[in-house]
Structure 1
Amino acid sequence: MKKTTIARLLPAALLALGSGAASAAGFQLLEQNASGIGNAYAGSAAVAENASTIFFNPAGMTQLQAREVSLGVSAVRPSFDFKNKGSVILNAPALPTSGGGGDAGSWAALPNGYLSWALNKDLYVGVGLGAPFGLITEYDDDWVGRAQSIKFDLKTYNINPSIAFRVNDKVSIGGGVSWQRLEAEYERTVSVLPNGIAPVPGLSSTFATLDADSDAWGWNIGALFTLSPSMKVGVSYRSTVDHKLEGDLKVEGPATAFAGVVPSLRSVKAEADVELPDTFIVSVTQKLNDRWEMLGDLSWTGWSSVDEVDIVRTSGPLAGSVAQTLEADFKDTWRVALGANYLLNDAWKLKFGIAYDQTPVKDKERRLTSLPDNDRTWFSAGAQWKLSKTNTLDLGAAYLYVPKTKIDNDQTALGRGRVTGEYTSSVWILGAQYSMAF
């Protein structure tokens, strides 16, 4: 099985932001900073410790110094070890089913960048760059689930200008807009049954590939409440983003000639509508004494917006027809996180965190080979080093425990076989964030 590549570089103009295999449930990327890793992102909408608050709650900019910049990178290492347990490929049990095991994960980097600027003592503006969603899963061409998916690649690039206003000493509000680009590539083998009974040997190397992209807009709002000198509560909401992917759908390989596929059907234009989910976060930070601080987080993600994705031909003799439907049928999910900080001295702060993150996948029958997702539990630790009053370095590490993940996705009636088996999965995350006031 090929390694799963979980990051790509963005053009230099966008600071080389990457996509990746999601560390949060579904294909969400929580690594919009590395400073939150040590707390498992507990308190994300309330902590406001650097300019990355622009993503989690823009109202938090009012807690920052006059001008701040924050740059970070997270290294993510997922592991996906699939064990085949009776899969049937192309509705033909005698067909070879190699590539049923092996680790499909590898290291990759997810960078981020933020800038916050105070126009006066109460009004702040800022901009953030990140990749809130991403997924790349790639298998060998002859793997056991090749008729359902060989490669599935989703990348998002998000630019988020924001504004925040301090209403009074107790309340701050903020909001922003996001320009988001989504790029998708989906590849699988094509099932061709020219004799109406079974695939002809040697024709399984024919591939269908969708390559499409979209630009769309979203928005986010937030509020931060300072209830006492020791307690803050943050709430934030990030909207859905409606994408209309447009691109090319190609069929290439020996089966096209054998089955008499006319050239006008081998490469056509296609489109697909995808609504990326909205999120809502409630966070709290509470100082217990001069040393200890507790952090909490409850977040909701509207994954039910990702239901059935129709890939529709928009050119050629079959324009308007559905080439394939990706049946995700996701459900809305919750995530709960609890964190703690211990102030060791004026220079060092230690961070700890634990979180439980629900999967949007309903059951093994609806689990996709491109997204072998399951519930996950975060165990995190980190440290913050204050080099000076204006310079801070955060380091964090997390291990994500994922229970055994069963899959039994039966698409034999559609000519894409049945994938039955079990994934053994886990994720490691390492990160560093440098923040500077100037």
Structure 2
Amino acid sequence: MIFRPTVSHAWRGIFILACLTIAPDARAGGFGIRAQSAEGFGAAIAGVAAGNALSFSYWNPAVLANVDRFQVEGVSNVIFPAISLDPAASNTVDIGKGALVPAMYMAMPLNSRMTLGMSITSPYGLATQAPTNWAGQIYGRKSEIFSINANPMLSYRVNDVLSVGVGLQVQYFKTKLTQAVDVVPFAPDAMLKADGVGVGFNLGMQLKPWAGGTIGLGYRSAISHDLDGHLTTPLGRASAAAGLTTPALVSLGVRQELNERYRVMGTVEWTNWSRLGTVPVYDRVSGGVLTTLPLRYRDGWLFSVGGEYDFSQKVTARAGVGYEIAPMNDMTRDVRLPEPNQVILSAGLSYRYSERTTLDLAITQSLGLGNGAVTIASGDPRYLGLPFSATSDLNVTIVSAGLKMKFDSLPFGIR
């Protein structure tokens, strides 16, 4: 017997996917993107909350206290995901989709203690796309996420030991998701488009308690979005609304100079993905609850260590290794998010063209550990009438480039 999803089934499936979103290459666990700093990526983001680079202010706004003149930094990341799903009774499909993810930063000292900064980043996003006809098409075909986070920040250097920072986050979040409404070949899509804007904050501190040593702690708050949009199916178009809260993030970093040329770094990063538990979905017109979404995430963790070595006054090399605990397990892994735990290997290089200009390059390899099981069966809240099981394989390469520029005078004649 062929199962034919109703509009109610389509609501449930589409909105589950909306909240899961679409980045199974999982550079930052779940649907997060860890693509904010080429220098940081070169050492698996080890020690970023305790570092000096302008782009490290994403993890800790107190980093801005190290800026001594007007600076800008641009980062570009090209992501090459190799993500496959191997259904139990069908052919393997590749759902990975490459992407270009940029980031921009600016900082300007206001006086000897205070520095104003600004970042524009994309903390969540990317895309996956399965073939039109495949074994899991009623659970997902195409997914897209787009986010922009504008983050003005202010740091204050209390003394030579302690600096603090604070910022305001304004984040736009948009999703477009499709899945088949039937299991037959070339079945039409159900499609959701929804977006919303949310506001949050970030805080941080840096300590330099001993010679050559720095400890940094940064916090990015959760951001709640009221997503409004439409669900389109072969039966028509309906208004849709759901609340999605992106998780809080805490980053602890340490850095230690061993001598004039060599430094070691470490990071522990916690992401509060477990707050994405059960999400109610509403009809925007009637206000009634259409369904609840039991995402059942767990918190994500990253542990990384790295080192830097100055070959000369112009060239610095770095490398790092990390271990990431994914926010989903065998009970919650999805066809759009088949993420296992991962090992992260990174290497990078900085070239100081002049006192004012530095180029950063990095390459990162994210390797999934084992075959992540995807199982959807009767009794699972995601179940749409067709049992589905598969294993997944993940291997993601990220190439990053960054350009840092310092200026002796401020723009627009500011003094």
Answer yes or no: same fold by TM over 0.5. yes
Contact map agreement 1:412 1:418 (CA 8 A) in 2: no
- Hey, what does 1:40 align to over in structure 2? 44
Checking the alignment, whether the CA contact within 8 Å between 1:81 and 1:425 is kept in structure 2 is yes
Unpaired runs of 5+ in structure 2?
1-21, 408-415
1:163·1:174 contact (CA, 8 Å) conserved in 2?
Answer: yes
Per-residue CA deviations over 1:245-295 (Å, capped at 9, x if unaligned) read 01111112xxx4xxxxxxxxx211110111110011110100111221000
1:22 touches 1:133 (CA, 8 Å); kept in 2? no
Structure 1 residue aligned with 2:248, among 278, 285, 295? 278
**Retained in 1: the 8 A contact 2:26–2:339?**
no
Q: 1:324 to 1:135 in 2, by over 3 A?
A: farther
Q: After the TM superposition, which residues 329-348 of structure 1 pair with which residues of structure 2 at under 5 Å, given as runs?
A: 329-348=296-315
Contact 1:235 1:280 (C-alpha < 8 Å) held by counterparts: yes
- Shift in alpha-carbon separation, 1:210–1:325, aligned structure 2, 3 A: farther
Equivalence for 2:119:
128
CA contact (8 A) 1:62 1:172 kept: yes
TM-score, normalising length: structure 2: 0.88
Gaps of 5+ in 1: 1-18, 87-96, 192-198, 257-265
Q: How far apart, CA to CA, are the structure 2 residues paired with 1:137 and 1:411?
A: 26
Secondary structure of 1:35's aligned partner: helix
Q: Check if 1:176 corresponds to 2:185.
A: no
Instruction: Choose from 335, 351, 356 the match for 1:385.
Output: 351
Q: Say whether the 8 Å CA contact 1:137–1:371 is kept in structure 2.
A: no
Count of aligned residue pairs for this structure pair? 382
Q: Distance in 1 between the 2:347 and 2:262 partners?
A: 15
Q: For the aligned residues, what is the CA RMSD?
A: 1.9
- Confirm or deny that 1:432 pairs with 2:414: no
Matching residue of 2:68: 65
Secondary structure at the aligned position of 2:331 is classed as helix
Give the aligned partner of residue 80 of structure 1. 83
Structure-2 separation of matches of 1:185 and 1:136: 10
What SS class does the counterpart of residue 65 from structure 2 fall into?
Answer: helix
CA distance in 2, matches of 1:323, 1:144: 27
Q: What is the CA–CA distance in structure 1 between the aligned matches of 2:127 and 2:289, rounded to whole Å?
A: 24
Query: Pairwise mapping of residues 139-218 of structure 1 onto structure 2 (< 5 A)?
Result: 139-191=130-182, 205-218=187-200
Where 2:42 maps in the other structure, the secondary structure is helix
Bigger Rg over Cα: 1
In structure 2, what residue type is equivalent to 1:336? F
Q: What is the identity, as a one-letter code, of the residue corresponding to 1:71?
A: G
Q: Deviations over 1:215-261 (max 9, x none)?
A: 11010000011112300110011100011101111112xxx4xxxxx
Match of 1:233 in 2: 215
> Secondary structure, in 3 states, of the residue corresponding to 1:168?
coil
Query: How far, CA to CA, are the matches of 2:378 and 2:51 in structure 1?
Result: 46
Question: Could you tell me how far 1:322 is from its partner in structure 2?
Answer: 4.2
Q: TM-score, normalised by structure 1?
A: 0.83
Q: Report the alpha carbon displacement of residue 429 of structure 1 after superposing the two structures with TM.
A: 0.9
- The reply to whether residue 312 of structure 1 matches residue 282 of structure 2 is yes
Q: Deviations over 1:98-147 (max 9, x none)?
A: xx423222432111100000011111001000011114222122211111
Check conservation: 2:205, 2:218, Cα contact below 8 A: yes
Deviates more, 1:271-280 or 1:24-33: 24-33
CA-CA distance at 1:323 after TM superposition: 4.3
For 1:117, the aligned partner's letter is: M
Q: For residue 366 of structure 1, give the secondary structure of its aligned residue in structure 2.
A: coil
> Letter of the aligned partner of 2:210 in structure 1?
S
Check conservation: 1:367, 1:409, Cα contact below 8 A.
no
The match for 1:358 among 325, 330, 339 is: 325
Q: Is 2:257 the counterpart of 1:287?
A: yes
Match of 1:328 among 267, 281, 295: 295
The answer to whether the 8 Å contact 2:67/2:115 transfers is no
* Residues 1:420 and 2:389 are matched in the alignment: yes
Contact in 2 for aligned 1:22/1:135 (Cα 8 Å): no
- Comparing 300-309 and 324-333, the one that deviates more: 324-333
Q: Give the secondary structure class of the aligned counterpart of 2:266.
A: strand
CA apart distance, 1:324: 4.9
Supply the AA of the counterpart residue of 2:396: V
Q: 1:392, 1:144 → 2: CA distance?
A: 49
Q: Confirm or deny: 8 A CA contact 1:25 1:374 kept in the other structure.
A: no
C-alpha contact 2:42 2:349 (8 A) present in aligned 1: yes
Among the aligned pairs, what percent are the same residue?
A: 27
Alignment-derived partner of residue 237 in structure 2: 267
> Does the residue aligned with 1:415 lie in a helix, a strand or coil?
coil
